[in-house]
Chain A
Amino acid sequence: MSNIVDVPVGPQHPALKEPLNITCYVDGEQVVGAKLRIGYNHRGIEKAGEYQTFIQNLYIAERICGICGIVHAFDLAQATEHIIGKEIPRRADYLRTIGLELNRIHSHLLWLGVAAHEIGFDTLFMYVWRDREVVMDVIEDFTGNRVTYALVTIGGVRRDLPQEKAEKMLRVMDALEETVKKYKEMCLNEKTIRMRCDGVGVLRKEDAIALCAVGPTIRASGVPFDIRADDPHAAYDEIPFKVVTYDTCDVTARILVRIDETLESINIVREAIKKMPSGPIRARLPRAVPVGEGVGRTEAPRGEVIHYVRSNGTDRPFRWKVRAPTLANLLSIPVMLTSKGDYVVYIADVPITFASIDPCLSCTDRAVKFVDVSSGKSWVWTFSQIKRMYWKDKPCWRERP
């Protein structure tokens, strides 16, 4: 069989994601370097934003991504409010916080399910998604849709949370806490999961900092970098919560960070409902935004989201810049995939390492290009072929060193 194979169409799957290409440089069976190519999902939102009003942009921002949609809408609203320079009602802050945290819960559960499906554990996937449905119900009840919230608007929020809905939400949170604890137990004790995740995809603390990783990825490397704590937005300044970090820096750490964060989020939602002041939920702000610029930052489920907005005094932004968290984390992938000293990356570790940053562009095009550093030859493999290759080079009865 020849070594050179063309890039496959890639599994068209419940592909929750945008595609991406990785080039790995290998020496024998070790990966010694990696490079990325993204952009198959580029739509041109930033340009469109300059032709639409701020209000319209809120909704397109929400659709940059359906998984952490509210984060983008919130962030755009926040940056715009900074330009206008008016405070918004406190109750709106709390309602936004609830929205953001519900979003985090659903996103982390979703990831857990997808990761389970990834390793062929469909039953766990089914269970997690079944239990996630209750969160979706709460969200639907609160915002009017399961996925796109349309909750945040410039100057506040569009919907209030009446007493009875809040009580229902609290009940759901209590039940969910039990479930999530059960999953944590399961992930800690399930041998196959540990076998495939411990010591894999290590991102050392220094590297995580140098490459500006964000979210659970950097926190799993022991850095307590969490926008909610460092740069409190919404009502995070009044709600105590723990910034979860683990310091084993590997895939297991990333799983545990996400699960613990889910538990933390459940607490935040409870706390926010308890502390929420009464009052108006939005301030009427002018539709035309004064000249100026603003930067909004938010901690999305996958890490820091930043929006930069410039206004020239009309009702449309002059420039609107978005940076989603996955882009920030992608840069760490080549490092996780590079053998260095004692740390050896096998080709078979590539897929799971990649999935561990919770990339929103993972699987549609999961081909990896390899370049042999000694001969300069290059070829393309799918993730599956990698696994086969791995087997060939390592006789099965020998344990991995």
Chain B
Amino acid sequence: MTLEEELVSKLKERFGDRILEAKVQRARRIFVTVDRSAYKDVIRFLRNDVGVTHVSTISGVDAIDHFEVIPHLSYKGIVVSVRAIVPKDKPEIDTITDVIPGALFYEKEVHEMFGIDIKGHPDLTHLELPDDWPEGLYPLRKDVKLEELFRRITKERD
């Protein structure tokens, strides 16, 4: 059994149904989908019991009918992408900064770009957007169209 498969089976064994989907895409790439409630436990398990220390980044995705928050963890060269499903009507998720401190900036980014509330995050100010950015405008949401951003942020184009 390869290292990748071993990791997947470990996760399945530990979390059972709370892992919605787990697949090895190719060498050194694993995608795991978890329920929002299990998200932090999975990260904690990976950190404490498997020995994952490095989070490369956290991708937020607006998948039209829900949001996804995907931390990409790195373990012995394997990228483990843990996908948490976040419903649109209640966009919030637990922070993982207390488990992996390196996630600080990435969670901020998810917050400002998608408007997902990160519960327990120590400092949810803007990371990249300017301070006078319009309240409630989350540029990477799919319902925010590029034309609207142009109109609101910079002047007409030639």
Contact = CB atoms under 8 A, between A and B. Distances in A.
Nearest to A306: B56
Interface stretch (A40-48, A88-96, A266-274): A40-48
A39 B31 contact: no
B149 A39 contact: no
B126 A210 contact: no
A340 to B, nearest CB: 15
Interface stretch (B6-14, B37-45, B75-83, B86-94): B75-83
Which size class do B's interface residues fall under? 35 or more
A166 interface: no
A308 B72 contact: yes
B59 A308 contact: yes
A210 B72 contact: no
B128 A42 contact: yes
Contact of A42 (B72, B102, B129): B129
A391 interface: no
Indicate the member of B28, B59, B113 with the most A CB atoms within 10 Å: B59
Interface string B32-72: 00000000000000000000011111011110000000101
A39 B128 contact: yes
B15 interface: no
Interface residues of A, number: 36
A319 B59 contact: yes
Interface in A29-78: 38-40, 42, 44, 46-48, 51
A210 B31 contact: no
A212 B55 contact: yes
B54 A209 contact: yes
B149 A210 contact: no
Contacts of B29: 82, 294-295
A38 B127 contact: yes
A230 interface: yes
A394 interface: no
8 contacts: A38-B127, A42-B130, A82-B26, A212-B53, A213-B102, A297-B74, A304-B56, A323-B57
Given A82-B26, A231-B77, A323-B56, 16 more contacts: A39-B126, A39-B127, A47-B140, A82-B25, A82-B29, A209-B53, A210-B53, A230-B76, A304-B56, A306-B57, A308-B57, A308-B59, A308-B70, A328-B56, A328-B57, A331-B105
Interface of B: 25-26, 28-29, 31, 53-57, 59-62, 70, 72, 74, 76-79, 81, 100-106, 113, 126-130, 139-140, 146, 149
Interface of A: 38-40, 42, 44, 46-48, 51, 82, 85, 209-213, 225, 227, 230-231, 293-295, 297, 304, 306, 308, 310, 318-319, 321, 323, 327-328, 330-331
